[in-house]
Amino acid sequence: MAGESTFVYLPYLMGGVVTTLQITALAMLLALPVSFLLALGRMSSFAPARWGAGFVIELFRGTSAVVQLFWAFYVLPFFGVELSPLAAGVLVLGLNEGSYFSEVVRASLKSIVAGQREAAVALHLPRFYTFRRIVLPQALPIMVPPFGNAAVLMLKFTALTSLVTIQELSFRAGLLRSNLGVSSDIYGVVLAIYFALAVGMASLVWLAERAVNRWAGREVIPWRELTSRRASPAPKWAFRR
Q: Which amino acid is at 150?
A: A
Q: Which DSSP symbol is given to 111?
A: T
Q: Mind listing the pLDDT tens digit for each residue in 12-25?
A: 889 999 999 999 99
Tell me whether residue 93 is in a domain: yes
The pTM (predicted TM-score) of the whole model is 0.78
* Amino acid 117: pLDDT: 66
* Amino acid 185: pLDDT: 82
Tell me whether residue 237 is in a domain: no
Q: Which DSSP symbol is given to 231?
A: P
- Angstrom distances, CA of residue 110 to CA of 40, 50, 138: 11, 15, 11
Q: Do 65 and 160 meet the contact criterion of CB atoms below 8 Å apart?
A: yes
Q: Mind listing the pLDDT tens digit for each residue in 166-209?
A: 989 898 888 888 887 777 788 888 999 999 999 999 888 888 88
Domain count, the chain: 1
Tell me whether residue 14 is in a domain: yes
Tell me whether residue 42 is in a domain: yes
Q: Mind listing the pLDDT tens digit for each residue in 223-239?
A: 454 445 444 444 444 33
Tell me whether residue 240 is in a domain: no
For residue 68, the domain's CATH number is 1.10.3720.10
Q: Mind listing the pLDDT tens digit for each residue in 30-86?
A: 999 999 999 999 988 888 999 999 999 999 988 989 999 999 999 999 998 899 999
Which has the higher per-residue pLDDT, 3 or 190? 190
Tell me whether residue 99 is in a domain: yes
Query: Residue 86's Cα: distance from chain center in Å?
Result: 18
* Least confident segment among 30-34, 63-67, 116-120, 143-147: 116-120
- Domain interval for residue 115: 2-226
Tell me whether residue 239 is in a domain: no
Per-state percent for the chain, helix, strand, coil, to nearest 5:
85, 0, 15
Q: Which of 179, 185, 156, 160 is nearest to 171 (CA)?
A: 160
Q: Which amino acid is at 63?
A: T
For range 204-217, the mean pLDDT: 82
* Amino acid 35: pLDDT: 93
Tell me whether residue 13 is in a domain: yes
Region of residue 126 (left: phi > 0; alpha: psi -120 to 50; beta: else) = beta
Region of residue 52 (left: phi > 0; alpha: psi -120 to 50; beta: else) = alpha
- Residue 235: phi and psi, rounded to 5, are -65, 160
Q: Do 42 and 102 meet the contact criterion of CB atoms below 8 Å apart?
A: yes
